[in-house]
Chains A and B, each alone.
Chain A
Amino acid sequence: MSRGVTRRPLLGLLIPAAVAVLFIALPLIGLLAHVDWSNLPSQLVSTDVLTALRLSLECSVIAVVISLLIGVPLAYLLARTSLPGRRIVRGLVTLPLVLPPVVGGIALQTALGRTTPIGTLLDHFGIVLPFSTAGAAIAEAFVGFPFLVITVEAGLRQRDDHFEEVAATLGARPWRRFWEVTLPLAAPSIAAGAALCWARALGEFGATITFAGSFPGTTETLPIAAYSSFEGSGQIGMAITLSLLLLAISVLVLVVLRDRWLGALR
């Protein structure tokens, strides 16, 4: 950072930049302008909203746990080893980031749907993923976990591995080095990755509705409830209330985690 250098801003850039800010701000202002503030408190505590909120929290937390369990080991292997095919694996993991979520939902459906080989197998154990909360959580994990893997991998790469080397020379065995050195050092990036993954899972819509359907209390998460209100029953007021709730949660995530989050991405 250079200090004390004052530059005249290029006025020519100011206009498109202002348009950019308005581009993001205007829709949000529009949303806020249409909120029915007098009915908001009663709508927010209505059973419909609370059910969707509880379900959203449940699914997104399960999605983060799944992502942590499988994502952190993958990120570690991608960052710290030279396994063959690493580049291909990294590309594959990144794919859900750019893949339209509805395609993810259709793909999950073709792999884990009730009549697929895996689905038939699960059915023997009484597990049916489509139309179940577990199915919704899996769809959210599918879309959210690349955020975790990429953030954790970047965090591990940024740190050189000399602490691990020191631990090794002191006689620490590989698993102990992983648990007591690598993971604690990676904690900030794991937290940031989990937060990104959680936020993405919370907002997930396309993969979830395609794979898991939509039913209040089982699979109708907040974004799906907002869509149902808007598209299905035409209750635009309720759709706006649900959108406001999601907006508030998003802002909360940004505020609470801004240091860790931005710190890890910087």
Chain B
Amino acid sequence: MRSRIRPLLLFAPGAIVLAACGSTSTSGPSASPDPFSGSITVFAASSLTSPFNTAEKGLELDHPGFTAQYSYGSSQALVTQIINGAPADVIATANTSTMQQLVAKGLVDTPQAFVKNKLEIIVAPGNPKNIKGLADLATPGLSVVLAMAGVPVGDYATKALKAANVSVTPKSLESDDALVVEQVESGNADAALVFVTDVVSAASKVTGIAIPDAQNVIGTYEIAVLKSSTNTTAAQAFVTSAVSGDIQTELLSVGFLKAS
């Protein structure tokens, strides 16, 4: 049994008043309270780190009194934590199979697909090893790093390499895509397969080599409110924003693809 005390709810009426005065949102009848109030905890795939953090700043400006705390990691790790009882209000995964584990255990409401993402090869700035495509990753002596099996970006990479009939022996299998990017940034690895959006986040520290759509794997991200959420109103508002609101806009601006 878990019972959580919600001191922040005490501030909710204040937040509603503030929201009514200061909210810039024009939609909906003015009498309805701002759903973004109190605080929520969002568990999100590490590839969502940058856009969610940016979106959070906007949300806090638009909705005084609202805060979200984020825990980023590999989707599988986050799902394992939730199954083991970690308190969260929203979960966003980088594939559908990890989310399915929560659905199967009845821990979430119906998940919604909210964005898609595809793979890209990353190499050191300027591409010193002259990598042109997936086939080059099999070059002998090339140090390639992938994410481990079970981690969405690792599974997508394995799928793409298999479809292209490229046999790669990675030097290391990292537990999330942020760590994969880090290995290329540090120069330990020559190349890696990560999401297109990871390349955008890493900015100038790595160079991205696009993979043609025919060879690429398009992964679907899902988001859901947890049944154990103690602030379902705000959690649902967050999910809605990720599917079709401000958070969605932010996600598309950093390279995520529309879900449908």
Chain A residues near B (Cβ < 8 Å): 109, 113-115, 128, 130-131, 212-216, 218-220, 227-228, 230-236
Interface residues of B in 140-193 (CB under 8 A from A): 143, 145, 148-151, 154, 170-175, 183, 186-189
Contact of A232 among B74, B186, B188, B189 (CB under 8 A): B74
Tally of chain B residues near chain A (CB < 8 A): 26
Contact of A114 among B98, B151, B170, B188 (CB under 8 A): B188
Q: Which of A113, A216, A228, A231 has the most CB of B within 10 A?
A: A231
Q: Known contacts A131-B143, A213-B145, A214-B148; is A232 also within 8 Å of B187 by CB?
A: no
Q: How far is the CA of A227 from the CA of B149 in the complex (A)?
A: 13
Which residue of the partner chain A has the closest CB to B77? A231
Judge if B101 is at the interface, Cβ distance under 8 Å.
yes
Contact of B74 among A109, A214, A231, A235 (CB under 8 A): A231
Contact of B172 among A113, A214, A227, A235 (CB under 8 A): A214
Judge if B76 is at the interface, Cβ distance under 8 Å.
yes
Judge if B80 is at the interface, Cβ distance under 8 Å.
yes
Contact (Cβ within 8 A) A213 B172: yes
A-B contact pairs, 22 of them (CB 8 A): A109-B186, A113-B186, A113-B187, A115-B187, A130-B171, A130-B172, A130-B188, A131-B188, A213-B145, A214-B148, A214-B175, A215-B171, A215-B173, A219-B172, A228-B173, A231-B73, A231-B76, A232-B77, A232-B148, A232-B154, A233-B148, A234-B150
Contact (Cβ within 8 A) A131 B171: yes
Contact (Cβ within 8 A) B172 A131: yes
Chain B residues near A (Cβ < 8 Å): 73-74, 76-77, 79-80, 98, 101, 143, 145, 148-151, 154, 170-175, 183, 186-189
Q: Known contacts A231-B74, A233-B150; is A214 also within 8 Å of B186 by CB?
A: no
Q: How far is the CB of A91 from chain B (nearest CB, A)?
A: 29
Contact (Cβ within 8 A) B143 A213: no
